[in-house]
Amino acid sequence: MNNPEELILVTGATGKQGGGVARALLAHGLRVRILTRSPAGSAARALIQLGAEVAIGDLGDPSSVEAAMQSTTGVFSMQPIDGAFDGTEQRFANALIQAATKANVRHFVHSSVAATNRHTRFPRWGTGYWTEQYWIDKWTIEESVRHSSLPSWTILRPAFVMSNFAQPTASFMFPHLKEGKIITAFKADTRLDLVAPEDIGAFARAAFGDPAKFNRHSIDLAAETLTMSEVADALRAATHKNVVTVHVSPDDAVKAGLFKGWVNSQEWSNEEGYRVNIEAVKAYGLPLTSFAQWALAHRSDIVIG
């Protein structure tokens, strides 16, 4: 049954992570309010049908954020990244932190990204080779959460989200999957740490359910680490369609149609990677979703051939 005293505001609810969090909270009887500019969109309507409330607005409008924050006891914080790295992500995050503080929110859960805490130790850091502002922004926002006057907070740092292999995201990140190919600049032995949106939702739900246990925890999240060949094996098993991996150079990956920034991220994985301590994740005692399990559950959204 719904707890009338609990109301969680979820930002980014029409996306992969925020949607996973909203569904996890709703499935456990918690009241959820989503902040969206498009309440008539399919993603928002699906959450409304599950029982979510809607606050119309966006993170760029502080007044709509404050209105959405009224009577909430918890906030799931996630900001969009547009690639401009012009300070927008930090501004949006700060607006959310300030509104949550003003509204006396009990617990604040922020979504960052795995490896953020060691970004200055990446190979070639300071040379401009990586998209350094991406990591700087992530760390700066984490620090804003940590040094805020929020009574309690949790920072979740997901690794590579499994739903990137499903539509519509796969059409951008893995455009050749429709042809039965995974063409990337990942090396054959590079292992990619993977997490399901459902697991991000489970950890957020657990943090809202027991703020004292999760207070001031920064948690890198992944369920397992796989090579692209192992990813292909799981996709074949789930869809019963042939999938092959093709490892190419970064230049050839760009020539094949992959976005340069995404190829650069693959190079980063080859040299550094998320390196999530999965045993530490398991120690929280929450069930984790394997990639094979995720692929089977979402096979209708995986387009191959």
Q: Where are the chain's structural domains?
A: 7-159+196-222+275-288
Share of the chain above pLDDT 90, in %: 95
Top-confidence residue, 159 or 81: 159
Nearest C-alpha neighbor of 50 from the set 33, 35, 67, 70 = 33
The predicted pLDDT at position 305 comes to 82
For the segment 41-72, what is each residue's pLDDT rounded down to a tens digit? 999 999 999 999 999 999 999 999 999 999 99
Say whether pLDDT at 185 is over 60: yes
Say whether pLDDT at 97 is over 90: yes
For the segment 101-125, what is each residue's pLDDT rounded down to a tens digit? 999 999 999 999 999 999 999 999 9
CATH of domain 7-159+196-222+275-288: 3.40.50.720
For the segment 255-267, what is each residue's pLDDT rounded down to a tens digit? 999 999 999 999 9
Rounded CA separation 289/286 (Å): 10
Angle at the Cα of 269 (from 146 to 176), degrees rounded to 5?
A: 120
Instruction: List the structure tokens of 52.
Output: 């979510």
The predicted pLDDT at position 1 comes to 40
For the segment 201-238, what is each residue's pLDDT rounded down to a tens digit? 999 999 999 999 999 999 999 999 999 999 999 999 99
Nearest C-alpha neighbor of 186 from the set 241, 141, 132, 253 = 253
Top-confidence residue, 289 or 84: 289
Helix (H, G, I), strand (E, B) or coil at 157: strand
Q: What is this structure's pTM? A: 0.96
The predicted pLDDT at position 4 comes to 58
Q: How distant, in Å, are the alpha carbons of 19, 50, 116, 207 from that of 25? A: 10, 10, 26, 11
For the segment 125-159, what is each residue's pLDDT rounded down to a tens digit? 999 999 999 999 999 999 999 999 999 999 999 99
Say whether pLDDT at 10 is over 90: yes
Rounded CA separation 255/303 (Å): 22
